[in-house]
A and B are shown apart, each in its own frame.
Chain A
């Protein structure tokens, strides 16, 4: 399933990031987000706005357009 299909508060493991734009992927890697990592959806902004994720105690925001390209597995 896709990250965009996750509900608020749910946890998931990232399965595939290969479809994400290179610059975004690099920035996510800088923040320690890569395949195999566990994330939690904290909040999603309205009107297909950004997603707030929790990853190992740090909080980060990404766009909806990226969330639809991230393959995850719900935990």
Chain B
């Protein structure tokens, strides 16, 4: 049995998914969190649950919503779990009506009854169930309360013979529906109710219109649409078909609410309003956001992250290395294997893993921003700035997520309705300094700028943002011009993040980093070490005669004007395309040192502070990593824009690094 989970954004849908399936999925309350079609097995093994993006209606505006529309048209499933926010019943039922019109068995999980009660809204689930003719269960998705009852109902879902809900839309529209249904091929009736398709068509659902165009000529469809619209406009005095359809549904919803809801005056303080009075205050809004970001960096780098990663580093370079070398000696491993493990793998993988604490702390705070409801406020506060460069406030959310990892950041751009703004966001998110670049900064900052750690790292993050904004302006004025922009955002109530959900989502983001350490960085380290071990003249050669030196040597002359024209820097940057952390792995292997401290000592002889800063700027900008390039290709569906994202980044990195290094030299640094 395949079930689809549907509901409005910010209703706790992803929490419910986790509670019903028990799988470790990504929980968040920002509407863009659910980007991929996720499938989980129900805890009672009754079937599979498909998680779909949060939507207000089946008629799509954004890419994210188009996913749902296409799912209804093309995929087969046996039933629907509809999560409904009791505190926003009118709006939520608008989707429910469309689901009921589709005619699959449906169960409602009524969430946020507590929020509703605080606002004086009492929803009687029994009466709601009677009025809608479907089972309704009260749940608290965040804690899992009521979810087992809901699961039991799901198990019986297949036995329910659900008839599509039929609302009467008035003579003019009914005539259009009937005419269109007659034009539809007979076989389609097995899969979809004709009436639902016709209604979605008249509501101007683009995906349904495209689907019908495969059976019926576009001229016929267009003529029928216009004829019906004119009749409805004349008959009911409304502006458009969609407005009329909405009005009919709304009237029906009002009658249901009349039966099932009891309103009393609210009796508790509204915390969201109180917090918003400060956090989205006209004057304080922006400073508070910047303060939050600064605090995040202070905690990640200074107060919490660095001591932890120092401790991990001394463990790797001390006990772990000794212990491994003792084992290798006692099992009689060859010197080749010993060198591979100790100089290649431990240096390469270990050198990156020591930054795990900082990365997890960063992911923790990003999850906190998402789960608390603050993220949507950031979009609001930043909208004016973003608008001035041709984007909108929502584009700032993918960018913040991009600080953790560019890949989910780029996928989060799907909630941006405007195609141009979405493409621009995808192209520019890689400029956000992701956690993989952090080990590089940590290495160089520790070697050259110990006293100014936070300021230097913060300046790099800021540089990424400033470059993204400047390029957004440039691109939106030249290659990506578009007239209308759209910014309407729902600001969900604040929620105290649940520690369980918070740790889950931190872990979900962070485990990718560990997996990467076990795959890309492990493999990369082995290859890099082999390239240093072998050379054109045989094995176990001097490092300067190795293949890696040869490869890095090609890049070196190009990099010389930027202040780091060594084959080592060239080799590190080339291998860094795999994943940015590999830059650090390469350096650890190339300089062949036992721990980060001694590497930093050695670096001081190889780079000047100015060259070190320029190197960090270059690493920040020079190319999206392999995984990010793959995601850009998938999300834009265009090879042209994928190449563009690589090339503009290379040009930008080179030009900016050149200016910084040469300019810095002129200024006497």
Contacts and interface: CB of A to CB of B under 8 A. Distances in A.
A61 B487 contact: yes
Interface in A14-55: 18, 21, 23-24, 26-32, 34, 42-50, 52
B91 interface: yes
Nearest to A58: B88
Interface string A42-75: 1111111110100011111111001000000000
Given A26-B242, A42-B276, A61-B487, A31 B91 contact: yes
B488 A62 contact: yes
B383 A63 contact: yes
A23 B381 contact: no
Contacts of A60: 488-491
B246 interface: yes
A29 B94 CA distance: 10
Contacts of A29: 242-243, 246
Contacts of B121: 57
A58 B344 CA distance: 56
Question: Chain A at the B interface: mostly helix, strand, loop or mixed?
Answer: mixed
Interface residues of A, number: 31
Contacts of B283: 46
B417 A50 contact: no
B246 A27 contact: no
Contacts of B393: 50, 61
Interface in B228-286: 239, 242-243, 246, 272-273, 276-277, 280-283, 285
B91 A43 contact: no
B598 to A, nearest CB: 51
A55 to B, nearest CB: 9
A45 B272 contact: no
A49 B384 contact: yes
Contact of A27 (B90, B273, B285, B417): B417
A4 B649 CA distance: 41
Interface in B368-421: 376, 379-381, 383-384, 387, 393, 417
Contacts of A32: 88, 90-91, 94
A44 B380 CA distance: 10
A24 to B, nearest CB: 6
Interface of A: 18, 21, 23-24, 26-32, 34, 42-50, 52, 56-63, 66
A-B CB proximity, top 9 nearest:
A30-B56, A49-B384, A59-B491, A27-B488, A32-B91, A61-B380, A61-B489, A23-B486, A50-B383
Interface of B: 56-57, 59, 61, 87-88, 90-91, 94, 119, 121, 239, 242-243, 246, 272-273, 276-277, 280-283, 285, 376, 379-381, 383-384, 387, 393, 417, 484, 486-493
Given A56-B88, A59-B492, 7 more contacts: A31-B488, A42-B280, A45-B285, A52-B380, A59-B491, A61-B379, A66-B488
